[in-house]
């Protein structure tokens, strides 16, 4: 028994180093806290006069409706959906994943959907976060992947009136954009028991920031097998990540899990529920999310995206917009990082790595017509080709936008996209890094949602009072 405890201790140590790796080495976070501090200082010393558009507070929560106007309550909410390693409102001591962008509008929601859970599970969670009630992952899915069918309870939905006549705007970063597409498809397929009325028209618009539509070669660099896009190489960064997460969840330290949560509670991996043998079983790869493949990395491989995309539609009454980021350029036929300045130092290496990625010649290509060159432009986490619009198995309607003023008369059912010079985390966590671009991008997203994107309401004769 004692031996188990010793190895548990060692594993805890490993976990700490993995956590550091996770939070630091991966996409988000390294300068976040420092950035937050310096921002707080800035706001103390200087007036926040740079963003004329920032509305005073309000964003915190729609408490009692104000006596004078209830305007904010009539607006459809804008829901910001985080990506991998992301978190919602209230985690990490109140740090904002979207770097405070939620304060730019009166009605913004920032759900917490777990940082490593699969796209499917996040979409289910997001539905109940909005509608309220206990998360139902679906009987078939939960049996297939070995987790509980029911999850956390949202006593109070964040937008219980949500329906076809009260549709929502979604803004997704990275994997969050794909989560929203999966949710829209579920609504169209009427996939929520007890809600037989759902439809694709519950979603008014989807805006993607560096969205992961088409998979990323990053997953192979970090340890997914390029053969199948489902299993992990035995020695890789992702294996460390797996060990760290299993132990984190097994130790189940309440305050730590409140602070940051990988979102695997429905797998019952706490020591209280599965004991030491359960942990060993998970570590050996016989149980848990990493064994069944119900976590986010398989969904971000090219193969995984193809599996998802094969049943995701672009719907005719929804507006779609996407910002693809790029931190590379081509010099004499070689794709290289576009500069060493203005890019996060951790991401520089990753941009370089991805621009040099070659699909192993002895492994079948993920799809017919695959070419390494198409996948070399990237932002350190995703390939630019993957972020513009969904392309596989069939390409969805799209239109490139150069200047935001081209977007005044948007049509639904078409992916408008814009390519932005920036790395994968430019528009999250630390707004100082993006500078003026930060305000430009979020202001235009919120302005579009509020002014240019609406659905014509059929005019009922007796409502015309002229």
Find the shortest distance in angstroms from Cβ 213 to ligand NAG: 7
Q: Which is nearer to ligand NAG, 75 or 306 (by Cβ)?
A: 306
Q: Which is nearer to ligand NAG, 305 or 314 (by Cβ)?
A: 305
Q: Which is nearer to ligand NAG, 59 or 168 (by Cβ)?
A: 168
Is residue 323 reached through a cis peptide bond, with omega within 30 degrees of 0 on the bond before it?
no
Find the shortest distance in angstroms from Cβ 419 to ligand NAG: 14
Say whether 344 sits in a helix, a strand or coil: coil
Find the shortest distance in angstroms from Cβ 116 to ligand NAG: 18
Q: Which is nearer to ligand NAG, 380 or 390 (by Cβ)?
A: 390
Find the shortest distance in angstroms from Cβ 46 to ligand NAG: 26
Tell me the C-alpha distance between 97 and 129, whole Å: 18
State phi, psi for 337 to the nearest 5 degrees: -55, 140
Q: Which is nearer to ligand NAG, 280 or 306 (by Cβ)?
A: 306
How remote is the C-alpha of 310 from its chain's centroid?
A: 20
C-beta atoms surrounding 32 within 10 Å: 20
Q: What is the DSSP letter of 321?
A: E
C-beta of residue 327 within 8 angstroms of C-beta of residue 343: yes
C-beta of residue 78 within 8 angstroms of C-beta of residue 109: yes
Find the shortest distance in angstroms from Cβ 387 to ligand NAG: 10
Find the shortest distance in angstroms from Cβ 287 to ligand NAG: 9
State the Cα angle at 209 between 77 and 136, rounded to 5°.
55
Q: Which residue is nearest to ligand NAG (CB)?
A: 392
Q: Which is nearer to ligand NAG, 382 or 449 (by Cβ)?
A: 382
Name the residue among 306, 380, 288, 381 with its Cα closest to residue 343: 380
Find the shortest distance in angstroms from Cβ 245 to ligand NAG: 17
Q: Which is nearer to ligand NAG, 403 or 465 (by Cβ)?
A: 403
Find the shortest distance in angstroms from Cβ 58 to ligand NAG: 29
Find the shortest distance in angstroms from Cβ 42 to ligand NAG: 26
Tell me the C-alpha distance between 358 and 421, whole Å: 23
- Contacting residues for 215 by C-beta, under 8 A, at least 6 apart: 229, 300, 301, 302, 303, 304, 305, 306, 366, 383, 386
Structure tokens at 419: 């390519």
Find the shortest distance in angstroms from Cβ 52 to ligand NAG: 17
Q: Which is nearer to ligand NAG, 333 or 369 (by Cβ)?
A: 369
Tell me the C-alpha distance between 125 and 111, whole Å: 9
Q: Which is nearer to ligand NAG, 50 or 149 (by Cβ)?
A: 149
C-beta of residue 237 within 8 angstroms of C-beta of residue 214: no
Q: Which is nearer to ligand NAG, 137 or 427 (by Cβ)?
A: 137
Task: Give every strand in the sheet of 108-109, ordered side by side.
Answer: 108-109, 78-81, 168-173, 203-209, 319-326, 415-421, 398-400
Residues that bind ligand NAG (CB under 6 A): 147-148, 196-197, 214-215, 268, 273, 302, 305-306, 309, 367, 369, 374, 385, 391-392, 403, 405
Say whether 428 sits in a helix, a strand or coil: coil
């Amino acid at each position: 028994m004692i031996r188990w405890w010793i190895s548990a201790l060692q594993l805890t140590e490993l976990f700490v180093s993995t956590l550091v790796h996770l939070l630091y080495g991966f996409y988000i976070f390294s300068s976040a806290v420092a950035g937050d501090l310096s921002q707080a200082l800035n706001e103390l010393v200087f007036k926040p006069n740079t963003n004329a558009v920032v509305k005073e507070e309000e964003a915190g929560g729609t408490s009692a409706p104000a006596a004078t106007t209830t305007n904010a309550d009539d607006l459809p909410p804008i829901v910001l959906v985080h990506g991998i390693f992301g978190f919602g409102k209230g985690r990490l001591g109140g740090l904002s994943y979207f770097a405070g962008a939620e304060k730019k509008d009166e009605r913004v929601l920032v759900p917490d959907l777990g940082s490593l859970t699969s796209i499917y599970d996040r979409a289910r969670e997001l539905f109940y976060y909005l509608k309220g009630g206990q998360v139902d992952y679906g009987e078939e899915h939960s049996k297939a992947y070995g987790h509980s069918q029911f999850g956390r309870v949202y006593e109070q939905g964040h937008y219980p009136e949500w329906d076809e006549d009260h549709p929502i705007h979604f803004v997704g970063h990275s994997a969050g954009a794909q989560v929203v597409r999966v949710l829209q498809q579920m609504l169209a397929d009427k996939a929520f028991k007890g809600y037989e009325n759902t439809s694709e028209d519950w979603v008014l618009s989807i805006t993607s920031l560096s969205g992961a539509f088409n998979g990323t070669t990053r997953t192979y660099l970090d340890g997914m097998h390029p053969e199948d896009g489902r299993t992990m190489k035995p020695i890789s960064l992702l294996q460390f990540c797996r060990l760290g997460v299993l132990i984190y969840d097994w130790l189940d330290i309440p305050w730590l899990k409140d602070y940051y949560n990988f979102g695997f509670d429905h797998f019952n991996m706490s020591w209280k529920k599965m004991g030491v043998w359960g942990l060993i079983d998970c570590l050996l790869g016989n149980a848990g999310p990493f064994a069944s493949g119900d976590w986010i990395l398989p969904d971000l491989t090219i193969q995984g995206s193809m599996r998802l995309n094969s049943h995701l539609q672009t719907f005719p009454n929804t507006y779609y917009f996407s910002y693809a980021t790029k931190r590379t350029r081509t010099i004499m036929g070689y794709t290289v990082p576009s500069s060493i300045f203005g890019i996060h130092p951790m991401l520089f290496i990753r941009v370089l790595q991805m621009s040099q990625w070659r699909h192993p010649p002895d492994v079948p290509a993920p799809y017919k017509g695959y070419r390494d060159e198409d996948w070399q432009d990237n932002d350190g986490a995703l390939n630019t080709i993957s972020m513009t619009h969904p392309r596989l198995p069939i390409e969805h309607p799209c239109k490139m936008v150069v200047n935001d003023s081209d977007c005044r008369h948007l049509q639904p059912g078409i992916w408008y996209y814009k390519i932005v010079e920036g790395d994968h985390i430019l528009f999250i966590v630390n707004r100082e890094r993006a500078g003026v671009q930060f305000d430009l991008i979020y202001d235009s997203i919120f302005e579009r949602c509020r002014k240019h994107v609406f659905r014509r309401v059929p005019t009922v004769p007796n409502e015309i009072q002229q």
